[in-house]
């Protein structure tokens, strides 16, 4: 700490020399001011300033060009004593008591008084105040502290922006809210459509115009719109009914039911992953992720009906019901996804060869997905 | 000097219950110094009011759960206290403990997942939101029929036709009470069945833990 301060003071001394005039005695005077400021800061410690004076003395000799080192040392000591006499007489007495070397330099003090008479006392006072104020300012420390504080704030705000942008990209509450915009009649009619989809005439989603923007109507107003309420409730209902069935068979355990639900969630996630890969390989624009969740979750409605039949009627009749319901879900998916793909690739109608090629692949994908939905009813 | 202090102490001790009951603060009137402690005691709030436990509200909410057919006030759940739900949760755990099943962890876990899920679904379905403390309060108070079911299972065998009827009755009772409160708070008249269904799923989970 003190070593750094000494180095900074020496630098300031050099700066004064460079900006000042080219008088050797002026150079000595500036250096003397620096030393005096250092002694003022150190206070009662006398030994450390002596050690710090070694490197400046060498450079001083080099700059001033004096041939004799010993006269320079005596001159510096004499200047210090004169300045102390001018400003603090009591301090002089203290120095005389502590170190007898100053007594030996008494003759040189008298000899140098004539030379120092050329300088005016106000200049000495002003420069000493300037050096003291500069030393106490510590600009390097303040600059470092300010820079560190600004860097911390910049880092925090950058991280916050990153989190906000990424969270807004993957999860939108308003979009999710539109999938839960359902009412009693929609849910009832949708479940009826899932159970018996053969009499439905129109499968296309209705488009509503709001402020010159064409967008799909919410599930509340369109029977063909996908929602997330029915898949979510059907999924939970299926596993609760399965737990009830285990309870009737005296095999119920909360741990086992929790494991079954976790396994169901994992299978649903794998199915969604395959669904997304299917879109990728068929070279078509992807539908929203929530639509995928909705379409792949509708089969749980039929699984619930199968579970109720199993509890009430037994395994043989429920197996027949399961076959009938799997055909229903396949038909439903075939009709729905075909229109979903055609609406997504509507912009490519004018290019006939590409349309035919991608149309074939999409038809295969739609058929495969429908069959997979039917088979998954037997696996779960 | 000592005699005066003991007399003052006895006097303040004697007058405190009298002041609380009959509000005769200035009855003695002998010395000005005696009135200080008595006034400070009379100005104190009751302990239960300071703690925030209001047994009148807890009792009125419990009665509204027990009688779901009565018309309820829309401000019945304005003070969303959590004392009732915690009490009913612990009561359910103790009743299951008497039947030889230690299910405190499952009750806490299912309650936590159920309340958070209901909070998410209700905020997604309704235009006007609801805070999670109100959800916990409503679902916790409507757990009371499950406690009756659990105590009933101590008496009779729950795994039979009569038991299944009782399970269904308890689930319907809890679901009806809770969905009535939610619909009243959220103003979702045309979605009454849709609000009731996830509530029914939650209480079915509690019924599975209770009965089996």
List pLDDT tens digits, range A130-178: 665 555 555 666 666 667 777 776 666 666 666 555 555 556 677 788 8
A247 touches chain B (CB under 8 A): yes
B140 vs A347: which has the higher pLDDT: B140
CB within 8 Å: A246 and B212: yes
* Interface residues on B facing A, Cβ-Cβ cutoff 8 A: 103, 106, 110, 121, 124-125, 159, 190-194, 197-198, 201, 204-205, 208-209, 211-212
If you average pLDDT over residues B185-193, what whole number do you get? 80
- More confidently predicted of A8 and B26: B26
User: Does B154 score more than 60 pLDDT?
Assistant: yes
Give, as one character, the DSSP assignment of residue B128.
Answer: S
DSSP string, A85-101: HHH-HHHHHHHHHH-TH
pLDDT at A153: 66
DSSP assignment of A133-183 equals HHHHH-HHHHHHHHHHHHHHHHHHHHHHHHHHHHHHHH--HHHHHHHT---
Q: Which residues of A touch B193 (CB under 8 A)?
A: 184, 187
Asked, for residue A190, whether it belongs to a domain, the answer is: no
**Cross-chain residue pair B124–A236, CB shorter than 8 Å:** no
pLDDT number for residue B128: 78
Terminus-to-terminus CA distance in chain A, angstroms? 74
Kindly state whether residue A265 falls inside one of the protein's structural domains. yes
Q: What is the pLDDT of residue B24?
A: 42
Q: Do A240 and B103 touch (CB under 8 A)?
A: no
Q: Which burial class, exposed, middle or buried, applies to A290 when counting CB atoms under 10 A from its CB (0-12, 13-18, 19+)?
A: middle
Judged by a CB distance cut-off of 8 A, whether residue A249 touches chain B is no
pLDDT of residue A144: 65
**Mean pLDDT (chain B, rounded):** 76
> Is A247 within 8 Å of B204 when comparing Cβ atoms?
no
Size of interface A-B (CB pairs under 8 A): 55
* DSSP 8-state secondary structure symbol assigned to residue A210: E
In chain A, what residues touch B106 (CB-CB under 8 Å)? 254
Instruction: Note whether residue A128 is domain-resident.
Output: no
Instruction: Report which of residues B163 and A3 the model is more confident about.
Output: B163
Q: Is residue A55 assigned to a domain?
A: no
At CA B29, angle to CA B23 and CA B33, rounded to 5? 100
Indicate yes or no: CB of A254 within 8 angstroms of CB of B209.
yes
A219-273 pLDDT per residue, tens: 777 888 888 999 999 999 999 998 888 888 888 888 888 888 999 899 889 988 8
- From A183, A229, A236, residue closest to B201, measured CB to CB: A236
Tell me the residue range of the domain where A282 lies.
225-379
Domain total of chain A:
1
Q: What's the rounded Cα separation, in Å, for the pair A178 and A172? A: 10
Q: Beta-carbon neighbour count of residue A51 at 10 Å?
A: 11
Give the pLDDT mean for B75-104. 82
Whether residue A295 lies inside any domain: the answer is yes
CA distances in angstroms from A59 to A11, A25, A34, A50, A64, listed in the order given = 12, 15, 14, 15, 8
pLDDT band at A276 (very low <50, low <70, confident <90, very high): confident
Q: Which of A107-111, A357-361, B34-38 has the highest mean pLDDT?
A: A357-361
Contact A184 B205 (CB under 8 A): no
Q: Is residue A178 in some structural domain? A: no
pLDDT band at residue A364 under the 50/70/90 scheme: confident
């Amino acid at each position: 700490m003190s070593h750094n301060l000494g180095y900074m003071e020496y630098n300031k001394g050099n700066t004064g020399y460079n900006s000042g005039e080219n008088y050797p005695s002026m150079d000595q005077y500036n250096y003397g001011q620096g030393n005096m400021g250092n002694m003022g800061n150190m206070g009662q410690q006398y030994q450390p300033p002596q050690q710090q004076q070694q490197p400046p003395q060498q450079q001083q000799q080099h700059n001033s060009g004096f041939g004799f080192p010993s006269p320079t040392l005596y001159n510096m000591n004499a200047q210090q004593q004169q300045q102390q006499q001018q400003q603090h007489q009591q301090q002089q007495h203290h120095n005389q008591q502590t170190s007898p070397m100053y007594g030996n330099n008494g003759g040189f003090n008298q000899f140098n008084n004539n030379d120092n008479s050329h300088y005016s006392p106000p200049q000495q006072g002003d420069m000493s105040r300037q050096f003291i104020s500069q030393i106490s300012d510590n600009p390097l420390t303040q600059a470092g502290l300010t820079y560190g504080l600004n860097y911390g704030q910049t880092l925090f705000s950058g991280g916050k922006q990153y989190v906000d942008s990424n969270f807004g990209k993957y999860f939108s509450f308003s979009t999710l809210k539109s999938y839960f915009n359902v009412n009693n009649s929609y849910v009832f009619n949708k479940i009826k459509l899932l159970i018996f989809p053969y009499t439905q005439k129109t499968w296309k989603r209705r488009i509503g115009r709001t402020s010159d923007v064409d967008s799909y109507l919410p599930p509340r107003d369109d029977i063909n719109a996908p929602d997330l309420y029915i898949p979510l409730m059907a999924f939970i209902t299926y596993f609760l009914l399965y737990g009830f069935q285990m309870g009737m068979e005296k095999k119920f355990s909360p741990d086992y039911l929790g494991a079954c639900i976790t396994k169901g969630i994992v299978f649903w996630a794998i199915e969604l992953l395959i669904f997304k890969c299917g879109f990728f390989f068929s070279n078509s624009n992807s539908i929203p992720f929530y639509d995928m969740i909705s379409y792949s979750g509708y089969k749980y409605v039929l699984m619930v009906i199968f579970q109720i039949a199993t509890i009430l009627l037994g395994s043989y009749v429920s197996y027949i019901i399961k076959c009938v319901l799997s055909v229903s879900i396949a038909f439903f998916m075939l009709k729905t996804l075909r229109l979903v793909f055609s609406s997504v690739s509507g912009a490519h109608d004018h290019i006939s060869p590409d349309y035919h090629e991608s149309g074939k692949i999409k038809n295969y994908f739609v058929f495969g997905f429908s069959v997979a939905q039917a088979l998954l009813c037997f696996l779960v | 000097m000592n005699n005066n202090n003991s007399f003052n102490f006895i006097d303040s001790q004697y007058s405190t219950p009298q002041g609380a009951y009959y509000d005769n603060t200035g009855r003695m009137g002998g010395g000005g110094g005696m009135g200080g402690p008595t006034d400070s005691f009379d100005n104190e709030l009751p302990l239960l009011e300071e703690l925030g436990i209001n047994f009148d509200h807890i009792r009125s909410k419990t009665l509204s759960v027990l009688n779901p057919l009565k018309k309820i006030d829309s401000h019945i759940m304005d003070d969303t206290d959590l004392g009732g739900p915690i009490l009913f949760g612990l009561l359910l755990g103790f009743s299951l403990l008497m039947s030889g099943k230690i299910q405190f962890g499952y009750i806490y876990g299912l309650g936590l997942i159920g309340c958070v899920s209901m909070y998410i679904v209700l905020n997604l379905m309704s235009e006007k939101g609801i805070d999670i403390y109100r959800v916990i309060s409503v679902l916790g108070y409507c757990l009371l029929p499950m406690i009756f079911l659990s105590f009933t299972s101590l008496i009779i065998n729950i795994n039979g036709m009569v038991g299944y009827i009782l399970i269904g009755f308890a689930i319907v009772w809890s679901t009806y009470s809770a969905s009535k409160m939610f619909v009243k708070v959220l103003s979702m008249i045309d979605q009454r069945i849709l609000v009731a269904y996830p509530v029914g799923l939650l209480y079915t989970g509690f019924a599975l833990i209770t009965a089996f």
